Amino acid sequence: MDNKQLEEFVKSIDQDLEIKEGKQFTEVNVPLSKLYNVARQLREKDEAQFDFLFNLTGVDFGQDLGVIYHLRSTVHGHSIVLKTRTSDRENPKIDSVSDIWETANLHEREVYDLLGIKFNNHPDLRRLFLDSSWGFPLRKDYVDDINIVSK
């Protein structure tokens, strides 16, 4: 699929999704409530077959926390980026996609460890690198007087 066909395919999944042409990939902004369903359909539908999650990144946008998913179809050769965000900085939660793409398992643990985003239905959500005394060091509002980490 070229980018135009990919955009039309995504619109067939959900007409309300915001799609923009990125520099390298088609980018889709997905509301939290629709993320899991859209991701599952991108994986399962024959026209798309996004069978490879090659990157999952947590982001602190300032007001919001979010996750960016880079997907590729090894069958068809096309790629897409999904973006979702939450404005709940106190208790951020996003649905896990680790049952759709196994590679999401450790990526989601890393995002949880460094940004504090919890992933609903993750099979083993625990810190990956740091102990609980650290807080979440990739947040823009992070302050650590003990370990002398500053901006």
Domain-located, residue 139: no
Mean pLDDT, residues 120-149 taken together: 88
pLDDT of residue 150: 57
Return the pLDDT at 129.
95
Contact 86, 111 (CB under 8 A): no
Residue 58 covered by a domain? yes
Convert the pLDDT of each residue in 32-67 to its tens digit.
999 999 999 999 999 999 999 999 999 999 999 999
In this structure, is residue 149 part of a structural domain? no
Predicted confidence at residue 143, as pLDDT, reads: 83
Beta strands in the chain (DSSP E): 18-21, 26-29, 52-60, 65-72, 79-86, 93-95, 118-120
Name the pTM for this structure: 0.93
Domain that holds residue 46: 3-134
Provide the domain count of the chain: 1
CATH number for the domain that contains residue 87: 3.30.460.80
pLDDT of residue 148: 65
Q: Is 143 a member of any domain? A: no
Q: What percent of the chain has pLDDT over 90?
A: 83
**What is the average per-residue pLDDT within 11-23?**
90
For residue 96, the model assigns a pLDDT of 98
Residue 73 lies in a domain: yes
Dihedrals phi, psi of 101, to nearest 5 degrees? -130, 115
pLDDT band at residue 144 using 50, 70 and 90 as cut-offs: confident
At 128, which amino acid appears?
L
Please check whether residue 80 is in contact with residue 7, taking contact to mean a CB–CB distance below 8 angstroms.
no
Q: Domain for residue 97, yes or no?
A: yes
Mean pLDDT of 79-104: 97
pLDDT > 70 in the chain, percent? 97
pLDDT confidence band for 147 (50 / 70 / 90): low
Gap between the Cα atoms of 137 and 123, Å rounded: 24
- pLDDT for 65: 98
| Amino acid in position 143 | V
Whole-number Å distance between alpha carbons of 69 and 54: 8
